[in-house]
Amino acid sequence: MAIASTIKRGLTDPGKAAQILAAIPDHELDSQRRMNYFVTPRWKRLSEYEILTLYTQPNPDWIAGGLDWGDWTQKFHGGRPSWGNESTELRTTDWYRHRDPARRWHAPYVKDKSEEWRYTTRFLEGYSAEGAVRSIDPKWRDGILDQYWGALLFSEYGMFNAHSSVSRDTLSDTIRSTATFAALDKVDSAQMIQLERNFLSKIVPGFPESTEGPKKIWLTDPIYRGARETVEEFWQGIQDFNEILWAVHGVYDPLFGQFARREFFGRLAAHYGDGLTPFFLNQTQTYFQTTKAAMSDLFFYSLGDDPEFGDHNRTWYRAWTNKWLQKTAEALHDFLGIYAKVDKVTGVSDAPAIKAAVARVVNDWVEDYAKKIDFKVDADKLIASITRDVK
């Protein structure tokens, strides 16, 4: 008959307790007295944004910059890990180097959106009370705002959806936050276009609220053919999360998006007495500039200037730019057909003005993107190609 042995634990056995106490060093085991000491701050002090964003997802050490170790406890069918370096062609010594200059995380983002909604409500109440809609030319209101401005929401919505896999596949928390907020800004832009149409439907008898008309324009009108094909391709045809971000924010939106929003709808609105559309455009342009700063930090500072892989990454930027620039240029060329539907106004919508508007957008893109990755492009030739049918 076996006799059960009694195991004495350190907390109850004086002898074991003495051994444990003897093994404890007489100096501090950990001298850290600062929360999140393992995070390298970008600015003078560790920010709330960094404390609440960094190292919240699992980060094994084989993801550059990760502080954990080992493998994933759960995997996709076929053995794909939860996150992996194979999700992008880009490389870095530290995926956690990126910071959003706006330091956006959930609480301040929600606060900003709440403030925007409040002043939007006040603006629309005042606009309606004054009857300011009477100043809008019906030709512009019914032909352009209803149909072609309405169709632009599908471009913005497509850019939003392109971030679906990005927000899942990114390899660090700060990149995920930047991509997610950039996506939410895009869906917000789409919603504001529809909000304007919804508002007009309430104060203009017969103005349609439905998106069916704009959807038909987006799907069938030659003016949006190139944009639709480009959006569909980077939404559904790219696996690399960094290529998606670069295609959207490094090529398509700074060229096609900026021209459509700023140079066409923004400039023509004033000619047609439209003070409503610029109000919403001002918000979308703020979103654009905020995202532009964040993407610049990601692609130029964090990845493009990586001490070991910077040249490798910039080579990929140039390859992606070469791929998406021609598609975007054709989308912009197609969109210029919209000028046939508006008045020819000297200095605004005549041939010289159209070419000047295209030049502004292209030259901005060359300075802000192409030059920073050493992408060789003949701006004059690109402008001439886009405006080849402008007479």
As averages over each run of 10 residues, the pLDDT of the chain (391 residues) reads: 52 78 82 77 90 87 84 78 88 96 94 93 95 95 96 97 93 95 96 96 95 96 97 93 98 98 96 96 95 97 96 98 97 98 94 97 98 97 96 86
Name the token pair of 72.
């994933």
d(CA 77, CA 185): 33
Task: Among 3.30.450.20, 1.10.620.20, 3.50.50.100, 3.40.50.2300, name the CATH number for the domain at 129-387.
Answer: 1.10.620.20
pTM of the model: 0.89
The pLDDT of residue 58 is 81
Judge whether 294 and 102 are in contact, CB under 8 Å: yes
Residue 376, Cβ neighbours under 10 Å: how many?
8
Judge whether 237 and 323 are in contact, CB under 8 Å: no
Q: Which of 383, 248, 386 is nearest to 321 (CA)?
A: 248
H runs (alpha helix) in the chain: 14-23, 48-53, 106-130, 138-139, 150-162, 166-169, 173-203, 212-220, 225-236, 241-246, 258, 267-271, 277-296, 310-335, 351-365, 379-386
**Torsion of Cα atoms, 233 then 239 then 245 then 249, to 10°:** -20
Instruction: Give the start-to-end residue ranges of the domains of the chain.
Output: 129-387
The pLDDT of residue 9 is 57
The pLDDT of residue 1 is 47
Name the token pair of 111.
């606060």
The pLDDT of residue 193 is 97
d(CA 124, CA 106): 27
Q: Is residue 278 left, alpha or beta, with left meaning phi > 0 and alpha meaning psi from -120 to 50?
A: alpha
